[in-house]
Structure 1
Amino acid sequence: MQVKQAPEGFVRLHDVDPSIVEEIRYATPHNFTGDPVPGYDEPMCVVTRPLADALHRAQQQVTAQGYTLKVYDCYRPQQADDRFVEWAKDVPDQRMKDEFYPGMEKSQLYSGGYIAKDSGHSRGSSVDLTLVRLPVPPQRPYTPGEPLASCAAPVGQRFPDNSVDMGTGFDCFDERAHTDASGVTGEARANRDRLRDVLTSAGLEGYENEWWHFNLPQEPFPDEYFDFPVNSAAFR
């Protein structure tokens, strides 16, 4: 079967900066749906070239401070966003509630803006990421069916991420995940500020509801939503 090719202007982040850690959650079952998401054929970060260049600039800054960037999600095929919308309507499927949306009803996720039909990720100019201290510690793998802990629980009680403490886990549908949440203080607040300051100085903009989400303001494809797969074959 012929694989749809990535448009000119998209790159694999590894080809621009192989030092940035990639843990593409939607290629695995460890995400709010509980299954690998359609379109993520490989755990690979794909972005537009301007976003890759911005991330490279940010990586140079954080490595000088003893950290590395770690990306969770980059370009997202439109079929993945379509799947998220379908999943949000499938109310009986609550497999991952205890970790990702413990304090919310699943029916509220779409109307509350946590899940959107159209996303900057599908334009290749949004990225979800965090900071990890150097040298990079090992990341414990997720085992499907294991007991789940709230993403909003204190560090040490929620799923162990090898990143620094940001106050919540990634993709946490909770008010504590809001970038300026008042309940997030101390080390977690300092870590959020460090991530924001580095990425904004590299030319990106944050999103108030998710500390991990950043956008490229001057994106090259502002009105297009792509659906080529996250697959090495798309770059041949």
Structure 2
Amino acid sequence: MNSKFIKTFAVIVIIAAGMTACGQKKNVTTDDVSEKEMANIQETAAQEVTAQEIITQEITTEKEPEDYEYVLVNKYIPDIYVELMYATDNNFTGVRIYDFTDAYLRYGTVKKLAQVQKELKQQGYSLKIWDAYRPFEAQQKLWEVYPDPNYVANPANGMKKHNLGGTVDITMVAADGTVISMPTEFDDFSLKADRDYSDIEDEEAVKNVMILQNAMENNGFTGYQGEWWDYSDTVEYEAVDFEP
């Protein structure tokens, strides 16, 4: 049905309702609307349609971020799971390290993660983020608690990949979010956390971690040898000001 006709009909109904409320029992038709009024109605309708088209165009043509820009991961990968362990006290330090719960990364890194997520979903799995962008202050706090360069980057050496938004601590879960077997829990500092899985007796865990590792490496990530969950974008980004 023509939208202008609908608006014209609506105006007639309003006029009729108003006249009835005033006690005027008159059958109102399109003849009661002058040509001038009709022209105004049609012009208003056209303006509203044009305004809606502009709004729709602005929504659909939102500028794509540059690869170096920080973005909210869930905005571009809505079905990824996020549980930032350092936003809680459920981590090896026993204290909350930073005060935000959303995962942020560089847009170029997020695009690669999106490809990994797509591949894993086709196999019945999903990514789950444990840590993404990490403020430098949080890095300093981690070092104070656990000053071991094998597991925590020394802030005295400047900002590293976690602080630059190109590294993610990540695991794999079932598509519905259910936990599946993996070699260890997050931030397990034993030898079982490294990428030599010969000491992992759970065959299912080895199979799962290899699915994750292959998907990440095939889409532009490299894994840290000492932690099966730690992956960095092969593209290194320069430091830019950012606050979640």
How many pairs were matched up? 173
Pairing of 1:150-165 with structure 2 (within 5 A): 162=179, 164-165=180-181
Pairing of 1:117-156 with structure 2 (within 5 A): 117=154, 118-137=159-178
Gaps of 5+ in 1: 1-7, 89-108, 138-161, 232-236
What SS class does the counterpart of residue 220 from structure 1 fall into?
coil
**Structure 2 letter corresponding to 1:116:** A
- State the partner residue of 1:172: 188
Match of 2:72 among 12, 18, 29: 12
1:136 CA drift (Å): 2.1
**Structure 1 letter corresponding to 2:86:** Y
1:135 CA drift (Å): 2.0
Match of 1:197 among 194, 214, 219: 214
User: Is 1:212 aligned to 2:225, yes or no?
Assistant: no
What SS class does the counterpart of residue 231 from structure 2 fall into?
strand
In structure 1, distance between residues paired with 2:162 and 2:138: 10
1:227 CA drift (Å): 7.1
Match of 1:54 among 103, 112, 117: 112
- State the partner residue of 1:153: none
1:55 CA drift (Å): 0.5
1:181 CA drift (Å): 3.3
Bigger Rg, structure 1 or 2:
2
Query: Deviation string for 1:21-80 (max 9, x for gaps)?
Result: 00001000001111110xx32211000011100100000000000001000000000000
TM-score by length of 1: 0.69
What SS class does the counterpart of residue 14 from structure 1 fall into?
helix
Contact 1:81–1:119 (CA under 8 A) maintained in structure 2: no
Higher RCO structure, 1 or 2 (CA under 8 Å, sep 6+)? 1
What SS class does the counterpart of residue 211 from structure 1 fall into?
coil
Contact 1:67–1:133 (CA under 8 A) maintained in structure 2: yes
In structure 2, distance between residues paired with 1:119 and 1:30: 23
In structure 2, distance between residues paired with 1:30 and 1:204: 27
**Structure 2 letter corresponding to 1:127:** V
In structure 1, distance between residues paired with 2:142 and 2:209: 26
1:15 CA drift (Å): 1.1
In structure 2, distance between residues paired with 1:41 and 1:84: 14
1:20 CA drift (Å): 0.5
- State the partner residue of 2:33: none
Aligned-residue CA RMSD in angstroms?
A: 1.8
1:175 CA drift (Å): 0.4
Contact 1:54–1:202 (CA under 8 A) maintained in structure 2: yes
- State the partner residue of 2:86: 26
1:180 CA drift (Å): 1.5
Runs of 4+ in 1 over 3 A off after TM superposition: 226-229
1:228 CA drift (Å): 4.0
- State the partner residue of 1:80: 138
**Structure 2 letter corresponding to 1:178:** D
Gaps of 5+ in 2: 1-67
- State the partner residue of 2:204: 187
In structure 2, distance between residues paired with 1:217 and 1:134: 26
**Structure 2 letter corresponding to 1:177:** A
Contact 2:197–2:206 (CA under 8 A) maintained in structure 1: no
Query: Deviation string for 1:193-215 (max 9, x for gaps)?
Result: 10000111111111110000000
TM-score by length of 2: 0.67
